[in-house]
Amino acid sequence: MRRIALVLSLLFSTALLPLCAQHASAKSQILAATPPMGWNSWDSYGLTITEAQFKTNVDWLNKNLKAYGWQYVVIDEGWYLNHPDNKGKPAWEYTVSKDGRYMPSASRFPSSANGAGFKPLADSIHARGLKFGIHIIRGIPREAVDKNLPIAGSSFHAADAADKSDTCAWNPDNYGIKANAAGQAYYDSLARLYAGWGLDFIKVDCISSPYKDDEIRMMSLALQRTGRPIVFSLSPGPTPVDKQGELVKYAQMWRISNDVWDTWKHAEGKEWAPQGVGDQFALTTAWAGHAQPGRWPDADMLPVGHLGPVAGWGPARDTNLTPDEQHTLLNLWAIFRSPLFIGSNFAESNASLTPLLTNREILAIDQHSTKNHPVVNTPHTVIWSAQPQTGKGHYLAVFNTGDTAQTVAYPWKDLELKQSSYKVRDLWQHKDMGAAKSLSIALKPHASVMYNLSPVD
């Protein structure tokens, strides 16, 4: 729920066929075979990012993170607004093409001038060996409907596709799309445009909570028809768990929660408040076992480092998460196998960010583990277990979710581990701790550890 974080005042018949996973060709590999890893502009720039700011962050990721598997760079909401700093007053001023599609604001993204769209920027991203993505709100621009603009590549017009009774609760810029031939034609026109730009990733907002099954199917079909492998990410959450059977047919990622920010717990009693890291334990438990190659429940972005100059929620700041809470964030996301998208303004973040994001042993759990599930789930202690996809051993993530220090102690057998003794490696300290006949660890509030356990010969 993005726009509400900045300003509360603003915010098919042919598509109902089951679809297979998206492929560039029949011989291509699974799209998003491992959880996508990258960077998204929202947490630090909200609606306001410019091409220059984007390139600064891309350069930093390319230099410091690409070698560790981080590869997607995503421009979030508002790239079509000429005056995002106006906050809707007197007007953002939308950039809409003559065939009813949003285009990048040339004043903010100079390389998009003269109808080039995001292709020049995407080309520069691809030249670095990275992948490029954008965020959109589902539906069709009101301006396109008010002017009844033609839908590219079809005989339809915007009014044929628009459902004027349906607007996003926190962003009324667009009307919803009817599940008819005109609606499919509009989504087809968007997908062709984005494939022509060279997109590798599309995040569609206001589509999974509330759950818009027709529009999910329609956009998925439109992307498939382009022949280009474009990761399809659904937002916001919570996406209904009982829709898992549909989700695996149509999308590569879907949010399991509302927006997660740099707080431990959701603040009750406010008109809108974000999820905290501590809130994600129940949700990841609910979705445990659903992740599979090409289909990833998404625990949301990583609000670490510096968040600003125009944070998507709250004032510009260094993350409010403590070092322990940041490790807990990475540990939970990794053992759950969530996609990993960083929200930092890299240039303004301190040196502690780099080791947080470049721990190969932690990232390997996110990318290459299996049988991920919780084995202990009490009000103050959560323990997850997983196994490497190849080789022997176990991963164990141990969390103190309480507000006071505690010692967590369990026999190995209570953690579904059969050996009497295990060699323990602490993956954040990169340190072998010796053999142990049980788990016993003192943890500060909100702290955690990630272990690699191997049987004693």
Phi, psi for 181 (deg, rounded to 5): -65, -35
Nearest to 23 by CA among 230, 192, 296, 198: 230
Q: What is the reported pLDDT for 90?
A: 72
CA distance 188 to 195: 10
3-state SS record for the chain:
CCHHHCCCCCCCHHHHCCCCCCCCCCCCCCCCCCCCEEEECHHHHCCCCCHHHHHHHHHHHHHHCHHHCCCEEEECCCCCECCHHHCCCCCCCECECCCCCECCCCCCCHHHCCCCCCHHHHHHHHHCCCEEEEEEECCEEHHHHHCCCECCCCCCEHHHHEECCCCECCECCEEEECCCHHHHHHHHHHHHHHHHHCCCEEEEECCECCECHHHHHHHHHHHHHHCCCCEEEECCCCCCHHHHHHHHHHCCEEECCCCECCCCCCCCCCCCCCECHHHHHHHHHHHCCCCECCEEEECCCECCCEECCCCCCCCCEECCCCHHHHHHHHHHHHHHCCCEEECCCHHHCCCCHHHHHCCHHHHHHHHHEEEEEEEEECCCEEEEEEEECCCCCEEEEEEECCCCCEEEEEEHHHHCCCCCCEEEEECCCCEEEEEECEEEEEECCCCEEEEEEEECC
The angle, 0 to 180 degrees and rounded to 10, between the axes of the packed helices 119-127 and 181-197 is 50
Q: The tokens of 107 are what? A: 């004043």
Task: Please state, for a pLDDT cut of 70, what percent of the chain lies above it.
Answer: 93
pLDDT tens-place string over residues 345-383 = 999 999 999 999 999 999 999 999 999 999 999 999 999
Q: What is the reported pLDDT for 457?
A: 78
CA distance 375 to 353: 30
Write down the pTM of the prediction. Answer: 0.92
pLDDT tens-place string over residues 282-329 = 999 999 999 999 999 999 999 999 999 999 999 999 999 999 999 999
CA distance 191 to 154: 14
**How much is the mean pLDDT over the chain?**
93
CA distance 37 to 307: 19
Window from 20-34, 81-95, 169-183 with minimum mean pLDDT: 20-34
Nearest to 191 by CA among 178, 204, 180, 181: 204
CA distance 195 to 119: 9
pLDDT tens-place string over residues 199-255 = 999 999 999 999 999 999 999 999 999 999 999 999 999 999 999 999 999 999 999
Q: What is the reported pLDDT for 270?
A: 75
Domains of the chain: 3-358 (3.20.20.70), 374-455 (2.60.40.1180)
CB 158 within 8 A of CB 96: no
pLDDT > 50? residue 15: no
Mean pLDDT of 11-33: 50
Q: What is the reported pLDDT for 133?
A: 98
CA distance 424 to 164: 59
CA distance 452 to 394: 6
For residues 29 and 189, the model is more confident at 189
Kindly indicate the confidence band of residue 12, based on its pLDDT and cuts at 50, 70 and 90. very low
Nearest to 455 by CA among 429, 428, 418: 418
Kindly indicate the confidence band of residue 7, based on its pLDDT and cuts at 50, 70 and 90. very low
